[in-house]
Structure 1
């Protein structure tokens, strides 16, 4: 059994991947395909669920072939972009509309109405989440209100986040959602067992359309033989940020990680106590194993790697993300340029879906290197805001482990250490989201007896970045950032 491998399906916002892992955590192969982004109106972001399925299946088949066949795969682990909603027909398995992506802001008015009606305190107390278009519930309601095919489906309507959709397709009809993803819908109370009837009524989502909530590791059915030639068991499921926290071995209360991907997401392990934030952070379920829950406090930055993509695709300032490090190092500072990257509103701790982006301080002496450096600096500024909120909630960071695509940039890692005045650790393998899914699947199929043992066996070497910035320079940057935020939010 120990020579068999783990297949991870990592369904992200801009691409889908299949990855092979050995029981010792070694990554043996990757197949990747881009996902088409649809922007039908300003603030709207959609995906084609069938495209995601087809490209995920193709990537998975390539990895099964590389492994030597389906009998070489001990189990599948799945991790996914959270909050994105798919609606499909149980009879046909066909989507009823395009998927609404987590970045989508179309339900901002609905969220405002719910807040003005006085529901946010109750929702946050029960779910750990503020009322915001980011989460799944108002997306589901919007689809019901605006897509006639959903109403016509009646009792055949199925809702799910991306892991639900992939499990349904892989197994030919198993409708489940793991507890970590379910906790991000605003339809599950953190202290509850299943979907919360009062929350479903508040948001207008029919419970019968929702999947069964499961643990994060365990038996989640098998793939249909037609997909890979033989059935393969599915044994691990987790939302991407929870999976990355597990992959970073943040298994002790107080451990914190930041995933720097399309957005930036910071989770701090809070153990078995339901987290309560008084500073606009989120309480979330980190994982559930054998019915036992571990929770986390979370801060969400909506725009991180997508800002670099915007610099490349919309402004044409760079040809590739790899250029940004050299450009940032090519100038001594940002030349007075500051950037507020609110391209999809502002997340924690501000929660302003109406905020828009700003580039300030432009002069005739401004070059593209100054703008690129200001863009990279904006990530550190936003994480400083979050660090203050975590500390105020009694969850200050002792150190920070980083991962995700942007973390490979040494300049960014050092700037984070400097601005946070904190040691920042980066693993040799920054793909910790997939690693966490592999760890869960390894536990679910018995390759490792516990997450702790899986972390010990599958961990990687860390590189540490330590603070080296003068206090005065850090203070000056943060003061200019605070002024920019204040001006924009006041407007």
Structure 2
């Protein structure tokens, strides 16, 4: 009888397949990079057909790595980067325009127009960019009128392809960050905005529960018919790896971008505008809520230093260099290659490296880069912690590839003034998608969730509070032009 859980996690820089048994043991994990293209300043695109091929490849290789076949899989869970936009042909599933990646800012002008017209959205969301994507589709209006087109975020696209065209769905977490949610309803598409843009509502995916029966993987695509039982946005999926959706659950993910998320449970709280309320998941028609803030550039900055700048062989070498010096020698880094996110919302800002002198070297730049990331996470965590009625845990749970850096985790503990706990499964987003698939298939129950919150290391503060706060203020005066965020520390 099939019992394994397969997660497909398609992120900004790569796709990963994770194969998990019901006890939570990871049997195989395979990741393959996805190339982004930058056709003009502020524009970020991917090839949707290449993304699909890579996803199929990692699934096949993960099964091969574990010595299993698709017939051993009980359920599939899908999680993807949020807010990326894609238009494809309903019949063939083939993309008709590039993927407009979430960090693409070509929608900036349209976002301002729609805001002025009374619609609530942000520059990166699909509502600001879908019209631009349709402009790249030949005869888009005629094809839309015939019902030939589908659009969605990557979760919708991949499930449509996996199911052989049988399912066109998303969940409330990804829908929330599309800009198309009807805020009074909070779990339905905004028909007024769709009409304002002259779009056909039939292009839109159905908003399904985050786990449960969603569709069936096509045997002609996968080799066997396997139930698809979970679809979650990437950051929301990661919450399951840290114990579930209950109010007071926190987690921070250090990936291409960085995210701090805290669950508010069934209550939609009212946080600071730059760390907005988000839909966390919907199960049985009931929505769970969370507060989230984004550090727009995290791992992407490290990749830039290693790749484009050629300063280090890889992220591990950068981390080792950072740990080899006791301080930054006055060098300050603001890791904001594509805007300064929460709690500032200054999307026009770009990265900064300041304070260089002849005595500074690559190791000091490396340490300053990690310090800048740690301080950006501190800003978001402190702002979220100031949300009235939100429980703050006594530790900071983390995951993600960049969290592999012990040097960064030590700096993070110092900046926050509380212990940092690193999840045993670094790929917590994919792990959460596998857990959700198990919930949707009935292989797991909600009472099983706490046992998946497994931590491999804890980093405790080594710096006094006054010293840590002074270091942050010194950084903020250069990086932000002031003393930084005034929210009370956690």
**TM-score scaled to structure 1, two decimals?**
0.92
Where does residue 126 of structure 1 map in the other structure? none
Deviates more, 1:425-434 or 1:181-190: 181-190
Where does residue 9 of structure 1 map in the other structure? 8
Where does residue 20 of structure 2 map in the other structure? 21
Cα offset for 1:161? 0.6
2:252–2:396 Cα contact (<8 Å) kept:
yes
Structure 1: any 5+ residue segments left out of the alignment? 124-130
1:331 pairs with 2:325: yes
- Choose the corresponding residue for 1:156, options 126, 129, 148: 148
1:181 pairs with 2:174: yes
Structure 2: any 5+ residue segments left out of the alignment? 485-490
Where does residue 418 of structure 1 map in the other structure? 414
Q: How many residues of Structure 1 are paired with residues of Structure 2 in the alignment?
A: 477
1:268 pairs with 2:258: no
Cα offset for 1:427? 1.7
Cα offset for 1:462? 4.3
Where does residue 70 of structure 2 map in the other structure? 70
Cα offset for 1:415? 0.8
Give distance in 1, aligned partners of 2:170 and 2:5. Answer: 20
Give distance in 2, aligned partners of 1:153 and 1:489. Answer: 53
Where does residue 96 of structure 2 map in the other structure? 96
Give distance in 2, aligned partners of 1:276 and 1:255. Answer: 17
Where does residue 404 of structure 2 map in the other structure? 408
Cα offset for 1:245? 1.1
Give distance in 1, aligned partners of 2:197 and 2:419. Answer: 42
Give distance in 2, aligned partners of 1:151 and 1:38. Answer: 27
Where does residue 143 of structure 1 map in the other structure? 133
Give distance in 2, aligned partners of 1:385 and 1:354. Answer: 18
Give distance in 1, aligned partners of 2:172 and 2:31. Answer: 27
**1:179-233, Cα deviation, whole Å (9 max, x unpaired):** 2211111111354342121233455543221100100111111111112322111
**1:144-163, Cα deviation, whole Å (9 max, x unpaired):** 34544533422312111111
1:378 pairs with 2:377: no
SS of residue matched to 2:367: helix
Where does residue 356 of structure 2 map in the other structure? 362
Deviates more, 1:21-30 or 1:249-258: 249-258
- Choose the corresponding residue for 2:392, options 378, 390, 397: 397
**1:348-369, Cα deviation, whole Å (9 max, x unpaired):** 1111221111111011111011
Where does residue 488 of structure 2 map in the other structure? none
Where does residue 448 of structure 1 map in the other structure? 444
Change (3 A) 1:149 1:396: farther
2:260–2:381 Cα contact (<8 Å) kept:
no
Cα offset for 1:67? 4.5
Superposition CA RMSD, Å: 2.0
Cα offset for 1:387? 2.3
Give distance in 2, aligned partners of 1:464 and 1:322. Answer: 19
Give distance in 2, aligned partners of 1:459 and 1:258. Answer: 13
SS of residue matched to 1:349: coil
